Structure 1
Amino acid sequence: MTYLGEGWDSTAELVDGWVERRPRRPEIGPQLLRESVVMPWLAPLLPLPVPVPVVVSQEPVVVRHELVPGAESRTLNAVQGRQLGEFLLALHAVPVAEALRRGVGRRPLPVDRFRAEVRVPGAEELLAKLDGLPADTLVHGDLGPEHVLGHDGVLTGVIDFGDLHVGDAAIDLAWALHSTPPEFTTAFVDAYGVTDALRERALTWHQLGPWHEVLYGNDIGDQAVVEEGLNGVRERLGIGVIPM
């Protein structure tokens, strides 16, 4: 047994060649079980390897899946940008009705908590942009460098579909458009066909990302996580970071 790490929702260990995941909080158990229903259907529709969990135990919840090859890429290139663009084109083309039938739902944003817990200049202006965003596409929901794996200059897989939901396609573009090298971003834009409207909404999602970290820090009672999240909020809104 080899400890692989943990995220906000689950822990992962390598057991007999399988990745074994367990929820860190009770409400994550149903999420892992849902992945075991959705991912066997979704995986063949995608051009990169993804986890396909099977249920080992329902009480407590334990799931296992084959190890997706690769690791977080320290450098990103045009080939990988094109690959991710093609991956998201395929994911975003999946029929929403079929996803809903398999238990994937829409995910309301915790706007009231954002308003109460993230008190920084410009907060209301950003929250106002959330009104009327589309929710008509199957999205990964948490696409970032730790979930996009690569090896030898190419992408080898995408992991962590716990936040899979029906929402705004632009949420999956936020990291690729705003936190990657120019050559990666340019290739991604060309492969996906990013429009001005998508680019504008992706910036909103990019700016909103650290707000979730603030709420998570409050949930687990860790002020350091809260402050790190608040600094991320300030940085992305361009209002200055407070030294920790």
Structure 2
Amino acid sequence: MARSSLTLAALATAAVAGLDVVSTTPISTGLTGRFDSALLTARGGEQLIIRVPTSQEAETEQSGDLVALRALTTGSRGRLPFRAPEFRGQAPVGQTRGHVYDFIPGAPASLESLDHSVELAESFGLAIAAVHSLPTSVITDAGLPVFSASESVRAATSVKDRAASTGRVPVDLLTRWSLALDDSALWQFQPAVIHGSLGPESFLISGERVTGILDWSNLKVGDPASDLYWLSSVTREESATRVFSGYNVGRAGPVDRQLRKRARLYAELEIAKWLVHGSDLRDAAIVDDAVGMLNGLASTAQADLVNPLSSDTGRVLAVDEVEAMLSQTPRREPVNARDHANAARISDDD
């Protein structure tokens, strides 16, 4: 059951010494979101946000968010052209804890926001570039994860292999992904500080600029392209190009000329992850959804031969070669009615 505004206000008062809340505005409830949250207005006009996780997954995310936000020192925050949330206090509630942060003005962004203006699209790129330009000591000093270029390609290869093991990925896509993953030139990048969970919903915007970025729980050192894959979903190609343009202007160091291709690869592998997720759950609806998207992607890729993912297409594997490769990969048994029932039970438990 969702917690009332009065409960959240009392919890915030316990979390932040001297806080005098005069009004609260609910933001979400446990019925529609992963957090019970509210905007708090304190006497004197200061505004804060309180969030209480409604699931174990949300609690884990909030704990990771707190660690990351504490890693962003005053000096590193001063390098950013936007605000990241600042933790103000916490208080126990039931089996979890409520966290209080300062409020960052701005409206939640969407993919359509990128079409609003050239300036706003470029502001997205500048904001992402500022994160990637932070010194990696921000991460290492906090003991947060660090992934090398070789570890990044191994992780991507693992996703491709797991998807291939389902036997549901079009051969042309496996060829396309394998060529990209085997292309050493594509993976010659300098790992950087990355947000790790970026999507349009991570941004707060006002007018022509990004005012804040939220959800820092996956902060790490890794492949900068993994923070940009979501741009492949932008309807207008020129909007995505403007984001990359702003990114290249704001990014410290040499331009990564393979950045956009790796971002595209990560976007395609997100569908592969969805297929693996459905296969692991033996959820036919998820599997069918993923297969439909993969078939559509395969058709698009075939029609766009001038834009391969790899920097050098190399020798294209013949169909019988790819089929031979797939025959060496164990496939899952067909899903039966009992498996469907178990998947439904798991979903209900979640």
User: TM over 0.5: same fold?
Assistant: yes
Q: Is the 8 A contact 2:195 2:220 kept in 1?
A: yes
- What do residues 113-158 of structure 1 show as CA deviations (whole Å, max 9, x unaligned)? 4444583122464266446645711112232222223234433322
1:120/1:220 CA distance change after superposition, 3 Å: closer
**Paired position in structure 2 for 1:88:** 128
**Paired position in structure 2 for 1:20:** 51
- 1:150-189 to structure 2, matched below 5 A, reads 150-176=205-231, 179=234, 181-189=236-244
Q: Is the 8 A contact 2:83 2:213 kept in 1?
A: yes
- In the aligned structure 1, how far is the partner of 2:298 from the partner of 2:220? 26
1:229/1:143 CA distance change after superposition, 3 Å: farther
- In the aligned structure 2, how far is the partner of 1:196 from the partner of 1:179? 20
Residue identity over aligned pairs, in percent, reads: 22
**Paired position in structure 1 for 2:109:** 72
Residue 63 of structure 1 pairs with residue 99 of structure 2: yes
What is the CA distance between 1:94 and its match in structure 2? 1.0
Structure 2 unaligned blocks of 5 or more: 6-25, 41-47, 249-254, 302-350
Letter paired with 1:120: V
Q: Is the 8 A contact 2:123 2:208 kept in 1?
A: no
- In the aligned structure 2, how far is the partner of 1:152 from the partner of 1:82? 13
Q: Is the 8 A contact 1:207 1:237 kept in 2?
A: no
**Paired position in structure 2 for 1:211:** 272
Task: Tell me how large the CA RMSD over aligned residues is.
Answer: 3.6
For the residue of structure 2 that corresponds to 1:238, the secondary structure is helix
**Paired position in structure 2 for 1:198:** 259
Letter paired with 2:220: H
- In the aligned structure 1, how far is the partner of 2:195 from the partner of 2:89? 21
Letter paired with 2:177: L
Residue 102 of structure 1 pairs with residue 163 of structure 2: no
Which residue of 168, 173, 177 corresponds with 1:126?
177
For the residue of structure 2 that corresponds to 1:157, the secondary structure is strand
What is the CA distance between 1:56 and its match in structure 2? 1.2
Which residue of 299, 311, 319 corresponds with 1:238?
299
- What do residues 157-188 of structure 1 show as CA deviations (whole Å, max 9, x unaligned)? 22222222211111222233652534433332
- In the aligned structure 1, how far is the partner of 2:87 from the partner of 2:287? 32
- Give the alignment's TM-score, normalised by structure 1: 0.75
Q: Is the 8 A contact 1:92 1:139 kept in 2?
A: yes
What is the CA distance between 1:79 and its match in structure 2? 0.7
What is the CA distance between 1:48 and its match in structure 2? 1.4
Larger deviation, residues 9-18 vs 66-75:
9-18
What is the CA distance between 1:95 and its match in structure 2? 1.2
Structure 1 unaligned blocks of 5 or more: none
Number of residue-to-residue matches in the alignment = 238
**Paired position in structure 2 for 1:145:** 200
What is the CA distance between 1:92 and its match in structure 2? 0.9
Larger deviation, residues 127-136 vs 198-207:
127-136
Letter paired with 1:175: W
Larger deviation, residues 114-123 vs 154-163:
114-123
Letter paired with 2:191: D
Which residue of 84, 94, 98 corresponds with 1:50?
84
1:204/1:66 CA distance change after superposition, 3 Å: same
For the residue of structure 2 that corresponds to 1:196, the secondary structure is coil
